[in-house]
Copies of this chain bind each other. A is one copy, B any other.
Amino acid sequence: MSALWTVKVLGLAAVALPLWVELLGRFLRRLRPAGALNEVLFFPSQVACVEHIFSSLSPGSCLCPLPHGVETSLSRLLRRILSATSSLDLCVFAFSNVNLSRAVLALHDRGVAVRVLTDRDYVAVTGSQIGVLRKAGICVRCDACSVHMHHKFALVDGRLLITGSLNWTLTAVQSNIENVVVTEEPDLVRPFAEEFHRLWERNDPARCLRPKRPKLRSGSISYD
């Protein structure tokens, strides 16, 4: 009888254990980023219509001559940006891409708190979208403390990091070989959030004693 009960208990344990392991796994997934999003987008992106991303129209209802209903690196990037519900912190060297600007403006219109930090030298370049964002009421600060503020990252709701080689320009999106990493890994997101906070505070216009932008040393390479 005792042996029989031992066997019964062992059988029950064999059934219960997988369930226990699964539940423990789910619990730990909540604690740590095992299910964290990790995605890489490569560019140049195929040229395709992105109108349906901004409106409730179906891809087929747009009459523009571009291909429709095509999932591209740009459309995936736009969707990631537009997934923001509370905040978008953007830190980008060059910003002239109209579709990316449209996404930032759409978030601002929705009431998402948008902050943009950019390089001072590229604000007034022809095609720059920084003036458009400012006119719409978006808070923009320009870095003037380094030779180039060369970051190209965004933080969506403080939890999703978008970073890589891609400047937010038409050439970068359509013509260059580029990469964008999209990740929720806290060990990657946290340092970028701290970096944004540091740069944002450092370039507060209310600060009077801002250090002057250093000049490039003569003889140094001028490309970034």
Q: How far is the CA of A8 from the CA of B15 in the complex (A)?
A: 13
Name the residue on B nearest A214 (C-beta).
B175
Q: How far is the CA of A12 from the CA of B16 in the complex (A)?
A: 9
- A38, B187: Cβ atoms under 8 Å? yes
Q: How far is the CA of A197 from the CA of B109 in the complex (A)?
A: 42
Residue numbers in B under 8 Å from A165 (CB-CB): 93, 150-153, 163-165
Q: How many copies does the complex hold?
A: 2
CB-CB contacts below 8 Å: A147-197 with B: 147-153, 163-167, 169-172, 175-179, 181, 183, 185, 187-188, 191-192, 195
Residue numbers in B under 8 Å from A223 (CB-CB): 94, 122, 125, 167, 169, 171
Residues of A that sit less than 8 Å from B by CB: 2-34, 38-40, 42, 44, 93-94, 96, 122, 125-127, 143, 146-153, 163-167, 169-172, 175-179, 181, 183, 185, 187-188, 191-192, 195, 199, 214, 216-217, 220-224
